[in-house]
């Protein structure tokens, strides 16, 4: 007959896919009872999405059934005990209490280079002296792992809080760190909601001057969750020069207005291409759509980012262009936009719970 100790030894084969540590050592196994060929396992898992919880449970069942005397396994999940230091019992725990400013980067549709803008903008803000994090909120098509050349998985603390990865001085978190390239994400809206909530509440972001959130395109579940839960300082809308961009940018503006999030301005990506041989500039996707959109929507126009093949190569190589070649025309455009954004958030209201880090610095203008 299998003993409790043998069951625990077998369960040490099971690893938390986020913490990358065996679950017995993490304290997930709260109890195990053996009665003949049946085992009853009680688990207390972190506040993971249902798919991740099911994955851990299934591995536990397989580990126990590998013992020759165990043929039936029942699993019970007990909820995490929530503690609060608030004196007001009706007060909700605060999200991102050590982050001074949270900026969402959005677009009304896909294909406008929003993730490239988010990655380079985050790097440019860091170059201006800010402590910056970048959260990839595109659950179905995460881009940050490729943009920053990250292949490892994040670790977790004993309390189940996820430690973000770091590159170029930035703290990074993405669903792409938790899955393989061949693993499709086939989740419904509620699961997306839970993952986004976990990224906001269980990632150990620490003290940041600014957290840049790369939103998925459109105005769906992930965007709604973030705008409702994250303490957003403001949003940036990325568009392209075409006239049709007005329609898509307006969708993003309407969403942020409905949830009372200020839009800091519009960025025009994929602006004109300048030939490095002859110096001629060709407006491949027309010109002026971003400025026209900003004017019609009564929003600040933050700048144009030109088409540059080196931007694509830098992203594919895992080093954003502002890091790889800070003197390029595209990098200077990102740095100028970052300086403007830094000035905007510098003068915006600071949340009371944020650490009062010194932001009274000279913002460099490119």
DSSP letters along 83-101, please? ----SSTTPPPPSSTTEEE
Is residue 254 predicted with pLDDT exceeding 70?
Answer: yes
Q: Which residue has the higher pLDDT, 90 or 68?
A: 68
Region 86-104: mean pLDDT is 69
CB burial of 150-160 (b: ≥16 within 10 Å; e: otherwise) equals beeebebeeeb
Region 109-117: mean pLDDT is 82
H helix or E strand, kind and range, residue 239: strand 234-239
Are domains 4-77 and 99-347 of this chain identical in fold? no
Report the CATH fold assignment for 4-77: GMP Synthetase; Chain A, domain 3 (3.30.300)
| Dihedral angle of Cα 314, 316, 319, 320, to the nearest 10 degrees | 60
* pTM (two decimals): 0.68
For the segment(s) 99-347, the CATH number from 3.60.15.10, 3.30.1330.120, 3.40.50.300, 3.30.1490.100 is 3.40.50.300
> Could you tell me whether strands 208-214 and 132-136 are parallel, antiparallel, or unpaired per DSSP bridges?
parallel
Is residue 179 predicted with pLDDT exceeding 80?
Answer: no
Region 129-141: mean pLDDT is 87
Region 158-174: mean pLDDT is 89
Q: Which residues lie across from 155 on neighbouring strands?
A: 163
| Residue extents of the structural domains in the chain | 4-77, 99-347
């Amino acid at each position: 007959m299998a003993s409790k100790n043998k069951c625990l030894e077998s369960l040490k084969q099971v690893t938390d896919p986020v913490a990358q540590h065996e679950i017995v050592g993490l304290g997930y196994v709260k109890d195990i009872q053996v009665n003949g060929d049946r085992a009853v396992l009680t688990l207390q898992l972190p506040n993971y999405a249902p798919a991740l919880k099911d994955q851990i449970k299934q591995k536990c069942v397989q580990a126990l059934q590998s013992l020759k005397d165990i043929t039936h396994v029942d699993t019970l999940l007990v909820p995490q005990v929530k503690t609060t230091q608030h004196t007001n019992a009706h007060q909700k725990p605060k999200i991102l209490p050590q982050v001074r400013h949270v900026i969402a980067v959005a677009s009304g549709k896909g294909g406008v280079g929003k993730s490239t803008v988010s990655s380079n903008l985050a790097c440019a803000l860091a170059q201006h002296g800010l402590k910056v994090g970048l959260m990839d909120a595109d659950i179905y098509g995460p881009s940050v792992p490729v943009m920053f050349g990250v292949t490892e998985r994040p670790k977790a603390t004993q309390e189940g809080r996820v430690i973000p990865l770091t590159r170029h001085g930035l703290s990074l978190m993405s669903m792409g760190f938790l899955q393989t390239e061949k693993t499709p994400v086939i989740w419904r809206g509620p699961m997306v909601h839970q993952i986004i909530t976990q990224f906001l509440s269980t990632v150990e972001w620490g003290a940041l001057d600014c957290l840049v959130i790369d939103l998925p395109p459109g105005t769906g579940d992930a965007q709604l969750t973030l705008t409702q839960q994250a303490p957003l300082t403001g949003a940036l809308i990325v568009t392209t020069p075409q006239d049709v961009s007005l329609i898509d940018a307006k969708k993003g503006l309407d969403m942020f207005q409905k949830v009372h999030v200020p839009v800091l301005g519009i960025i025009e990506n994929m602006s004109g291409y300048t030939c490095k041989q002859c110096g001629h500039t060709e407006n491949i996707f027309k010109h002026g759509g971003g400025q026209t959109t900003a004017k019609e929507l009564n929003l600040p126009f933050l700048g144009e980012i030109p088409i540059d093949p080196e931007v694509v190569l830098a992203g594919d190589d895992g080093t954003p262009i502002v890091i790889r070649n800070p003197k390029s025309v595209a990098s200077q455009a990102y740095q100028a936009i970052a300086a403007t954004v830094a000035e905007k958030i510098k003068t915006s209201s600071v949340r009371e719970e944020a650490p009062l880090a010194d932001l009274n610095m000279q913002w460099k203008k490119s």
